[in-house]
């Protein structure tokens, strides 16, 4: 199975900050990397797919990049509603493993 890691595991940031989260795969997954946002008590929500494509309805302050084994999710200007946990997921093969998550909270 492909193992996914994320860094940092948590971060504190302020509204308006630029935030970058990194995801790394244990082997090359081409561009098959998705990002999800999860708020407490809620289901995950798809943000980004195939590394850099923005899901419909997701604000343009979210962006993704990367290929191979290294990927990033960037929030260009953090908004109050963005405080949440973010998960990467590889969709290169089954099982579609998730990263351990990065919790973004208020500084």
Partner 1 sequence: EVQLVESGGGLVQPGGSLRLSCAVSGFTFSSYEMNWVRQAPGKGLEWISYISSSFNTIYYADSVKGRFTISRDNAKNSLYLQMNSLRAEDTAVYYCARDDFSRRVFDYWGQGTLVTVSS
Q: Is position 34 an interface residue for partner 1 (rule: CB under 8 A)?
A: yes
Among 59, 54, 106, which Cα is nearest to 84's?
Answer: 106
Are the beta carbons of 73 and 34 closer than 8 angstroms?
A: no
| Nearest 10 degrees: Cα torsion 11, 16, 17, 21 | 60
Q: Is position 32 an interface residue for partner 1 (rule: CB under 8 A)?
A: yes
Q: Which residue stretch of 10-18, 35-43, 62-70, 74-82 sits at the interface with partner 1 (rule: CB under 8 A)?
A: 35-43
Q: Is position 45 an interface residue for partner 1 (rule: CB under 8 A)?
A: yes
Cα gap 71→60, rounded to integer Å = 18
Q: Is position 97 an interface residue for partner 1 (rule: CB under 8 A)?
A: yes
The one among 38, 52, 74, 76 contacting partner 1 by CB under 8 A: 38
Cα gap 8→38, rounded to integer Å = 16
**Neighbouring C-beta atoms of residue 27, cutoff 10 Å:** 11
Closest separation in Å from C-beta 85 to partner 1: 8
Q: Is position 101 an interface residue for partner 1 (rule: CB under 8 A)?
A: yes
Interface residue list for partner 1 (CB under 8 A): 32, 34, 36, 38, 42-46, 49-50, 53, 55, 87, 89, 91, 94-101
């Amino acid at each position: 199975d492909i193992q996914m890691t994320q860094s940092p595991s948590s971060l504190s940031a302020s509204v308006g900050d630029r935030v970058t989260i990194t995801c790394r795969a244990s082997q090359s997954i081409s561009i098959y990397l998705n990002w999800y946002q999860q708020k407490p008590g809620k289901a995950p929500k798809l943000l980004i797919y195939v590394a850099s494509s923005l899901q419909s309805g997701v604000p343009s302050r979210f962006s993704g990049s990367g290929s191979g084994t290294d990927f990033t999710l960037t929030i260009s200007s953090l908004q109050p509603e963005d405080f949440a946990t973010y998960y990467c997921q590889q969709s290169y093969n089954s099982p579609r493993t998730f990263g351990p998550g990065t919790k973004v909270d208020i500084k």
